[in-house]
């Protein structure tokens, strides 16, 4: 009986990575800026997107969204109220989105007709970090209620982010949110990252966020 070693040197997520690269090429060619929003369940991704979609549309931008959820289509219905095209991706138990799900749900959409495409990932701070969706910008969100040290507990996700958003700042005082500590822990994990402090309720911080989106879109061309 002979044994042999076969060298593979193959990424476990090779299929996902290849498809994500292909998607990124399509997005760039079409001139659409694609963002992947990741956070714990309940951080306020959908509320933040509702407001972002609405304000971008009021400014004449062409926007669309894909939203991942384990089972329901509640978030998609909330986002569709903005008037933007929205599709739900039900993952049926899978705790993250994969490039293949994104690709499949884009069918029939003319990407060149879009300026921005937002992907709301499944609420989870671990698994989505390993799956490239072809996005240009990964946004990690953190609410004032979930602990200032979240980034330290989930370094993988926060280190892979291109921008961070602190949500629900309208209730910061009520929950004794320590702003300096939160900024410090984001900076420890991802030094120099842009941080937006926002409220989807009052609209605070949205102007800076929308400016950032415009800059990033212009820079992509």
Partner 1 sequence: MHELSLVASIVDAVTESVSAYPGARVKEVRLRVGALAAVIEESLQFCYGIATEDTPLQGSALIVTVVPVGGHCPSCARDVEIASLQSFRCPLCCGPVENVRQGRELEIESIEIEDAEETVQS
Distance CA 117, CA 101 (A): 15
Report if residue 12 touches partner 1, rule: CB under 8 A. Answer: yes
Report if residue 180 touches partner 1, rule: CB under 8 A. Answer: no
Q: Which of 65, 37, 75 is nearest to 165 (CA)?
A: 37
Binding segment for partner 1 among 2-10, 25-33, 73-81, 210-218 (CB under 8 A)?
Answer: 2-10
- Using CB distances below 5 to 8 A depending on partner kind, what does residue 171 bind out of Mg ion, ligand GTP, partner 1, none? ligand GTP
Q: Do residues 125 and 209 make contact, with C-beta atoms less than 8 angstroms apart?
A: no
String of contacts with Mg ion for each residue 26-45, x by CB under 5 A: -------------------x
Distance CA 58, CA 130 (A): 34
Residues 189-208 contacting ligand GTP, CB under 6 A: 199-201
Nearer to ligand GTP, 54 or 217 (CB): 54
Report if residue 156 touches partner 1, rule: CB under 8 A. Answer: yes
Report if residue 170 touches ligand GTP, rule: CB under 6 A. Answer: yes
Residue in 36, 38, 45, 82 binding ligand GTP, rule: CB under 6 A:
45
SS3 letters across 103-148: HHHCCCCCHHHCCEEEEECCCCCCHHHHCCCCCCEEEEEEECCCCC
Q: Do residues 153 and 140 make contact, with C-beta atoms less than 8 angstroms apart?
A: no
Residue in 75, 98, 132, 197 binding Mg ion, rule: CB under 5 A:
75
Report if residue 173 touches partner 1, rule: CB under 8 A. Answer: no
- DSSP secondary structure letters along 202-215: T-TTHHHHHHHHHH
Binding positions for partner 1, rule: CB under 8 A: 1-15, 94-96, 126-127, 129-130, 152, 154-157, 159-160, 188-192
């Amino acid at each position: 009986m002979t044994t042999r070693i076969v060298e593979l040197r193959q990424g476990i997520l090779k299929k996902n990575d290849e498809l994500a690269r292909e998607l990124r090429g399509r997005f760039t060619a079409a001139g659409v800026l694609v963002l992947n929003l990741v956070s714990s369940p309940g951080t306020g991704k959908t509320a933040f997107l509702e407001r972002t979609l609405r304000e971008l549309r009021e400014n004449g931008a062409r926007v669309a969204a894909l939203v991942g959820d384990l089972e329901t289509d509640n978030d998609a219905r909330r986002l569709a109220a903005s008037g933007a095209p929205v599709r739900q991706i039900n993952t049926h138990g899978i705790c993250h989105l994969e490039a293949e799900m994104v690709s499949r749900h884009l069918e029939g959409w003319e990407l060149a007709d879009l300026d921005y495409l937002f992907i709301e990932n499944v609420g989870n701070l671990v698994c989505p970090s390993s799956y490239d969706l072809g996005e240009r910008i990964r946004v990690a969100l953190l609410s004032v209620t979930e602990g200032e040290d979240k980034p330290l507990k989930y370094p993988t996700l926060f280190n892979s982010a291109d921008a961070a958003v602190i949500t629900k700042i309208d209730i910061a005082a009520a929950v004794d949110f320590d702003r300096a500590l939160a900024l410090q822990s984001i900076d420890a994990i991802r030094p120099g990252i842009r941080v937006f402090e926002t409220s989807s309720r009052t609209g605070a911080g949205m102007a800076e966020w929308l400016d950032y989106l415009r800059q990033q879109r212009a820079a992509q061309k």
